[in-house]
Amino acid sequence: MILFALALCSFAGQNIVTVTTPVSYRNPALGTWEQSFQVVLGTASPTTTVIVLPGGPGANTITPTLPVRYLGMPARWNAVLTDPRGAGCNIGPPASTFSTDTLARDILTIIKQVQITDYLIFGASYGTVEATTLESLIEADPSVAKPRAVVLEGSIGHSWNGYQDYFQGFAYEWDRVKRSVLQPSTAGLFNASPYPLGLSSSDWALIISSQLAVGDTPGVGHALRALLEPINETAIRQTLAQVRAAAAQTAPLLLAINCSELTGSLRAGDLVGNELVLGTQEFCASGFTNRYDSASFQTTVPLYYFQGQADPIVSAAQSMYHYLSHVNSRGSYVAIGNAGHEPFLRSLSAVGCAGPIWNAMASGSSLGSLLDACTLPYAMVERGPGQPLMLAPAP
């Protein structure tokens, strides 16, 4: 069940809830702050709740316009939409408190204070790091009911070996899109300056990278083709403004977590000779202090992984590492063909088959027959707790 009292965020009337949360879980003397989240109520009570952890670090899900049905989940379910401290409705706590452990404990505070007992955890991109850490905290706390399952979209298995290691996925995917998606004349617009619309090479690197992450959506096509063939100036300038505004707001959180836990460094992208490359300015004051490794955060609840074939941010090797290192849980790993960084949201939900998949995940069931019905290209591997990926043949 879920019990809550309504409160205000940056806007009113949309089921915004606050809970009193420690500023620091290590230093109680720093006091408390009011953490906000949003509830999308289902049509039944009692019902199952999905706790949504966005990516970034710094993306948010709390919105003044509630989605009709978030992520295609069943209409009778609730959704709890969250913003991390340092972003969206939860700007306020000092940057010195920003870490994945703290963000995960913030969600644990929500679960405890509003008494969520029948739920799933959904994490996307960086949200998979937070979800993995959160579930390990839940496993260690007998006062908290375990979730039915943890659903991970674009799952980060471990930290990258520097920002170049992270960024190379964008460079590879841009090369593929130039060859296989865009017309040669369109790709040729970026061979040298002046670039289209008078935008700089770094502006176009931001635009291109953001749309590579979106990738291909069934019935819509690739996001870059939609922007560039023909050139949609209004949408391009809006995209650039949104990306820059989000980066400016969440820079302290992004730097704190990327520099210490995920990439160890941070540099801006650029477009040189039609290739995506990294600039030379380093934004991290120091390197890794707490490298992330998902193998350090074990769980016993069912885990469901969704990976996009053309994901420039998280490679199959990254997400498969997470899958292979969590041997105590039932695991289902699904790769969706032609999909980008959000295969559940932009592919499975887009073709209208997410609802039955949510029901199956809530019951810890196999997804095979349901994925067949989606008519999307996919590959899947599943295993039970303690089972290796492959069993050696009998002699």
Q: How confident is the model at residue 4 (pLDDT cuts 50, 70, 90)?
A: very low
Q: Please return the burial class of 382, using the count of CB atoms within 10 Å of its CB with bins 0-12, 13-18 and 19+.
A: middle
pLDDT at 2 over 60: no
What is the pLDDT averaged over residues 251-275? Answer: 94
∠ CA 200-201-207, nearest 5°, is 90
Cβ contacts of 19 within 8 Å, gap of 6 or more: 34, 35, 37, 109, 110, 113, 114
Q: Give the model confidence (pLDDT) of 220-261 as tens digits.
A: 899 999 999 999 999 999 999 998 988 888 899 999 999 999
pLDDT at 1 over 70: no
Looking at residue 18, its amino acid is T
23 and 81 assigned to the same domain: yes
- The residue among 307, 304, 320, 322 whose CA lies nearest residue 360 is 304
pLDDT at 68 over 60: no
264 and 369 assigned to the same domain: no
Give me the pLDDT at residue 14, please. Answer: 72
Three-class DSSP labels, 304-345: EEEEECCCCCCCHHHHHHHHHHCCCCCEEEEEECCECCCHHH
- The residue among 171, 184, 131, 174 whose CA lies nearest residue 153 is 131
What secondary structure letter does DSSP report for 357? H
233 and 133 assigned to the same domain: no
pTM here?
Answer: 0.92
Residue at 233 is within a domain:
yes
Q: How confident is the model at residue 12 (pLDDT cuts 50, 70, 90)?
A: low
More confident residue, 393 or 193: 193
Q: How many structural domains compose the chain?
A: 2
Measure the CA–CA gap between 331 and 200, rounded to whole angstroms: 45
35 and 132 assigned to the same domain: yes
Domain boundary among 230, 251, 278: 278
Domain boundary among 244, 278, 312: 278
Measure the CA–CA gap between 263 and 160, rounded to whole angstroms: 5
Measure the CA–CA gap between 238 and 226, rounded to whole angstroms: 14
Task: Give the Cβ contact number of residue 279 at 10 Å.
Answer: 14
Residue at 11 is within a domain:
no
167 and 144 assigned to the same domain: no
Residue at 283 is within a domain:
no
Measure the CA–CA gap between 40 and 55, rounded to whole angstroms: 19
Helix, strand, or coil (residue 19): strand
pLDDT at 394 over 50: no
Domain boundary among 278, 309, 344: 278
220 and 261 assigned to the same domain: yes
What is the pLDDT averaged over residues 206-218? Answer: 92
Q: How confident is the model at residue 211 (pLDDT cuts 50, 70, 90)?
A: very high
pLDDT at 105 over 90: yes
C-beta separation of 19 from 34 below 8 A: yes
Query: What proportion of the chain, given as a percentage, has pLDDT over 90?
Result: 73
The overall average pLDDT reported for the chain is 90
Q: Which domain holds residue 185?
A: 163-278
Residue at 92 is within a domain:
yes
pLDDT at 168 over 60: yes
35 and 146 assigned to the same domain: yes
172 and 320 assigned to the same domain: no
Residue at 285 is within a domain:
no
Residue at 152 is within a domain:
yes
pLDDT at 97 over 60: yes
Strand partners, 30: none
Residue at 22 is within a domain:
yes
Looking at residue 218, its amino acid is P
More confident residue, 62 or 388: 62
Residue at 113 is within a domain:
yes
What is the pLDDT averaged over residues 58-72? Answer: 77
With tokens 């809830």, the residue in question is 17
Query: Which tokens hold the place of 167?
Result: 């960024």
What is the pLDDT averaged over residues 314-319? Answer: 94
Q: For the domain that residue 27 is a member of, what is the CATH number?
A: 3.40.50.1820
194 and 140 assigned to the same domain: no
Q: How confident is the model at residue 3 (pLDDT cuts 50, 70, 90)?
A: very low
∠ CA 67-301-335, nearest 5°, is 60
177 and 241 assigned to the same domain: yes
226 and 355 assigned to the same domain: no
Helix, strand, or coil (residue 186): helix
Three-class DSSP labels, 193-237: CCCHHHCCHHHHHHHHHHHHHHEEECCCEEHHHHHHCCECHHHHH
Q: Give the model confidence (pLDDT) of 36-53 as tens digits.
A: 999 988 898 889 999 999
207 and 149 assigned to the same domain: no
